[in-house]
Structure 1
Amino acid sequence: MENKTLNNITIDLNADLGEGGADDAAILACVSSANIACGGHAGDTQSMRIAVRAAMACGVAIGAHPSFVDRENFGRTEMHLPMQQVYDEVLEQICALQDICKMEGTQLVHAKPHGALYNQAARDVRLAETVVKAIAAAGSQLRVVGLAGSELIHAARRAGMTVAEEAFADRRYHSDGSLVSRKLPGATIDEVELALQQAMRMAEQQSVVSIEGKEMQMNIDTLCLHGDGAHALQLARRLREQLQQRGITVCKAGAICQ
């Protein structure tokens, strides 16, 4: 809970960008961290460079958003690959974005897996450890962003990496802390007001109510706003506004905020 203090609540807002979303630039003005697609499920050299420059202009922390190499399914189909292949592909994607950051005169701050890789690494210890090893190989200073309470977070801590535990404003949860599969109805919260209510509960109370009706306490360092959501920009603006109205500071994960 690095972003919490006794006298003030602070929260990191992150968005997945560089995935072809029309509102990327506007969303950047609302968040404090960006996860940039780096070729596995979306993105290429040009889109990564554009996203990095836009993030720099907004003072937003830049992170890599690697996935299974599966552009056809946007990285959202579960895959069971040799661990060496996963390691190589994740490292290659992070390094591709890291090289662009260096050329642009900035630094890569964190890495957050995308889609099926994110969800599988949240529950599969071996896969989680492989993803963490790949991130660490790109840079031991990189922060690992993963589902709050997940195996990815546990693996990163065991490896001595810093972490940011993540929750989703626009996704439904099961009572075990896992995300409801996108294959099921109601997995995403498409109504802005409902997503806003869930996000504020997460920020203020560190909790979420599952689809089974159970209230779960979570350690939440960062809230994700999906850049490709139906009302992503509207939600981003409304959430930033409400956080400010309630005296909650939006701040990069791990940073000291005033």
Structure 2
Amino acid sequence: MKLNLNINADVGEGIGNEHLLMPYLNSCNVACGGHAGSEEEMDRVVRLAKSNGVIIGAHPSYPDPENFGRVSMDISSADLFTSLVKQVRSLVKIVRSHSLNLHHIKPHGALYNDAVKDEGVAQVIIEAVKGFSAPISLYVPYGSLIADMAQSANIKVCYEAFADRTYQNDLSLTPRTQKGSVITDPNLVWDQLCQMAINGKVITAEGEERPIEVDTFCIHGDTPNAVEILKFIREKSS
């Protein structure tokens, strides 16, 4: 089945498999120090992305490497804004050193999930994006509060969906603490991807059908068989 898919992955998070992922990606989201990543790691990943023609985005998070950015933080809006801008600027500097531009920002982990419903968190992210002179897109979930707020602020939104994660009825992701939250069977990943890409629907973990719009699909780079899944998807869609 021929499908023109746009696929992204989170990279630079210490897994070290980026050289295997890049040939299958359209864009990547580079960790920039909040939950993972160092200047050396960012530079290595940017070089790989450039050599593979992969679009580069920033993947900032709550400043919480101990929890890999997957736990909500009690942090002031001012401190969160400062941290996000610092993280993205560190990547922008490296991207520009390779004569490239930053294409997008995709919040990571708990920050991504909180921005779906928390107006305060969403506003901080939006203000951080607006602080950069060049136009930068925002990768966000369909139907989320941050998507609506970003569009109202004239920020280009790219609807992202997860082919390797299960969904709840409200279109939030099933928490990783719950069994079955991550899909590792390439066939099941493909089935969910096709449902979203072709039918504009997703079957939730509770068995309900929900409408969804998708511009780019994420495959998590830290899923143990991520490369196998990506290769399978590209072969099936070619």
The equivalent of 2:136 in structure 1 is 142
Larger RCO, structure (CA 8 Å, separation 6 or more): 1
Which of 147, 150, 153 aligns to 1:159? It is 153
Which of 41, 55, 61 aligns to 2:55? It is 61
Q: Provide the C-alpha distance between the structure 2 equivalents of 1:11 and 1:238, rounded to a whole number of angstroms.
A: 13
Which of 100, 104, 114 aligns to 2:98? It is 104
Which of 12, 33, 52 aligns to 2:46? It is 52
SS at match of 2:138: strand
Describe how 1:1-258 pairs up with structure 2 within 5 A: 10-139=4-133, 141-244=135-238
- Once superposed, what is the RMSD of the aligned Cα atoms? 1.3
Q: CA deviation at 1:193?
A: 1.6
Q: Provide the C-alpha distance between the structure 1 equivalents of 2:3 and 2:225, rounded to a whole number of angstroms.
A: 26
SS at match of 1:40: coil
Q: CA deviation at 1:201?
A: 1.7
CA contact (8 A) 2:3 2:237 kept: no
SS at match of 2:131: helix
Q: Provide the C-alpha distance between the structure 2 equivalents of 1:37 and 1:46, rounded to a whole number of angstroms.
A: 12
CA contact (8 A) 1:98 1:107 kept: yes
SS at match of 2:74: coil
Q: Provide the C-alpha distance between the structure 2 equivalents of 1:165 and 1:197, rounded to a whole number of angstroms.
A: 19
Query: Normalized against structure 1, the TM-score is what?
Result: 0.89
Q: CA deviation at 1:140?
A: 5.1
CA contact (8 A) 2:159 2:214 kept: yes
Q: Provide the C-alpha distance between the structure 2 equivalents of 1:122 and 1:229, rounded to a whole number of angstroms.
A: 23
Q: Provide the C-alpha distance between the structure 2 equivalents of 1:139 and 1:208, rounded to a whole number of angstroms.
A: 36
User: What does the per-residue CA deviation read over 1:54-85, in whole Å, with 9 as the maximum and x for residues that have no partner?
Assistant: 10111111000000011111100111211111
Give the partner amino acid of 2:60: P
User: What does the per-residue CA deviation read over 1:28-75, in whole Å, with 9 as the maximum and x for residues that have no partner?
Assistant: 100100000000000000000011111011111100000001111110
Give the partner amino acid of 1:229: T
Give the partner amino acid of 1:181: P
Query: Normalized against structure 2, the TM-score is what?
Result: 0.96
Q: Provide the C-alpha distance between the structure 2 equivalents of 1:181 and 1:196, rounded to a whole number of angstroms.
A: 21
Query: Greater shift after overlay, 187-196 or 115-124?
Result: 187-196
Q: Provide the C-alpha distance between the structure 2 equivalents of 1:35 and 1:134, rounded to a whole number of angstroms.
A: 16
Could you tell me the percent identity over the aligned residues? 36
Q: Provide the C-alpha distance between the structure 1 equivalents of 2:3 and 2:234, rounded to a whole number of angstroms.
A: 14
CA contact (8 A) 1:94 1:138 kept: no
CA contact (8 A) 2:196 2:213 kept: no
Query: Greater shift after overlay, 121-130 or 108-117?
Result: 121-130
Q: CA deviation at 1:92?
A: 0.7
